[in-house]
Each structure stands twice: as structure tokens, then as C-alpha cells.
Amino acid sequence: MVGLDNAGKTATVKGIQGESPEDVAPTVGFSKADIKQWRFDITMFDLGGGKRIRGIWKNYYAESYGVVFVIDSSDVGRMEETKETIAEVLRHPRISGKPVLVLANKQDREGALSETDIIEFLSLEKLVNDNKCLVRYRERTPEEIGAGVALEPCSAAIGHGKKIDKSIKNGLNWLLRVIAKDFEALHERIGKETAEQRAQEEQDKRERAERVKRLREEREVLRSPECCWQFAVLLNNFTSPWALERQLHMKGYHPLFQEIFCPQTLKCFINGKAGKFPSQRH
């Protein structure tokens, strides 16, 4: 379950679980909910929607069978941000082709945008067609189904459990039916993509370890007597601390400006006082 912060994701999850959605605190990171619906055992991840946390969303795409995207219908000022965010989600290769339930939440608030207005604001029809996503339709006639895209207008705050907003219940049931219908193909895809993601994470981990190893080796070189001798020569050739500092940078002695590698004599020379860094920049 994704969407901008304050869209009502956690309130929606709590309502599905049968808990009161009142006094919900913003989600920091993510929260996990295990839900029993029909014959399904569902694990739902409620992911934080703040700008700084959205980067973690992609870590959950590979093992997700479906997506619920929650929109704050009453927050007109953030519709452009919502448009960019939902576009980024639907375009991701590990989401493209999977079923997506879009909940236009907070319909009980004054000034909430209608279903038609939100579709227009978000250019949702084009996004869905371009990325081949199956998006939840509200109840339509057979002639209308497939003619465009519709959201589920709802309000997570008006009830919970058996009294939850009917649109949320219908939307979730639709999502589960679609997943069940195509479960084998989805399960095979998720197994493949999860394995690929884990392999990539292992490769990234090895590359990080190699970078750390190289950095440590470079620092060991800077501790050598040869480097200390070159350092002393530089120290004797400059009367201006800033000229010395520039020359050290040009010669690649950046780690020397870290406290553990900066000789006491250099600290005294540049600052006139021991125990200080050469400058604020370092």
C-alpha cells in the first residue's frame, strides 16, 4: 500500500483489520499487517509516503502480487505530486502488468475532487494503457468496462471492520479475485524477480565491501614513511596555510584532513592551535 504522506494509508489498513482509524500517527518507514480475507492470508505492507522514505518502495515491488495506491482527494495542492508519484510507481518494470487498486480517499471532506476530476488530473487512463496495468473499476455496465479507468471513491474514516466503507471492501475483493485468477503466472514472475533482486543486492553488497577495502588500503599508504616525508617537504615549502591546503588537495591527500590522519604539526600550522580541523570544509 503506497501513496503520499497523509493520504490515509494507515487508516485504510486499520479499517480493513477491524481497528478504529482514528488518531493514526504518520508511518515512519513501514508497518506490516497480516489480514485474513475470504480464503486468503494476506501480508500487507503499509509504506511511509514522505519524500525521504519513498525510495524504499521499490524494494517491495518484486515480491508484491498487487498494489493499493491511496490518494487524498481533498488535497488539490498536491495533485501534481501525486501524479508524478503514481506515474513512477506504474512505470516501474516490477509493477507494470500487476493489478492496481486506486483508492480516492477522504471523499467525506469538503472540496474533495470527484472521480472524473482525479482521473483527468492524474492522466490515469494514459498511464494505465502505457504500462499495461490492470486497474480497479467501480461497478459499471458491461459496455462501460474497458472503456476507461475509474477509481474507488471512498473514505477510510467513516467505519471499520464490518462497517468499513463499501468501496474499500469492494476494491480489496476485486484485487484478491484478480490475483487469484492469475495466481500461478504472478507467483512464477514474483519468484523470478525476487531472485533477481536478491542477486543484485548481493552484488551491491560486494561492491560496497570492495570500495571500503580500497579506501582502507589508500589510508594505510598515507600512513607510510614515504607519505610523511612528502608531507614534511610540502610543509616547509609554504608559508600560507591556504596555499598548503590547496596543494595537498591537488596531490590527492584528502584523507589527511580527517582527524586520525592529520599530523599534530599540520593542525598547529594551519590553525595555530592543536586539536582543530584545518577548516570548516573538512
- Residue 29 is labelled as binding a ligand: no
- Residue 173 is labelled as binding a ligand: no
- Residue 258 is labelled as binding a ligand: no
Parallel, antiparallel, or unpaired for β 40-47 and 30-37?
antiparallel
- Residue 165 is labelled as binding a ligand: no
CA angle 206, 212, 213 (to 5 degrees): 85
Identify which of 15, 76, 9, 80 has the alpha carbon closest to the alpha carbon of residue 46. Answer: 9
Total Cβ atoms within 10 A of residue 121: 15
β-sheet bridge partners, residue 33: 44
- Residue 7 is labelled as binding a ligand: yes
- Residue 58 is labelled as binding a ligand: no
- Residue 3 is labelled as binding a ligand: yes
- Which three three-digit cell numbers place residue 126? 494514459
- Residue 162 is labelled as binding a ligand: no
- Residue 17 is labelled as binding a ligand: no
- Residue 236 is labelled as binding a ligand: no
- Residue 5 is labelled as binding a ligand: yes
Identify which of 56, 126, 121, 134 has the alpha carbon closest to the alpha carbon of residue 95. Answer: 134
- Which residues, in sequence order, are CB contacts of 224 under 8 Å at separation 6+? none
Between CA 28 and CA 33 the distance in angstroms is 15
- Binding-site residues from annotation for Mg(2+): 10, 27
Positions at the binding site for GTP: 3-10, 49, 105-108
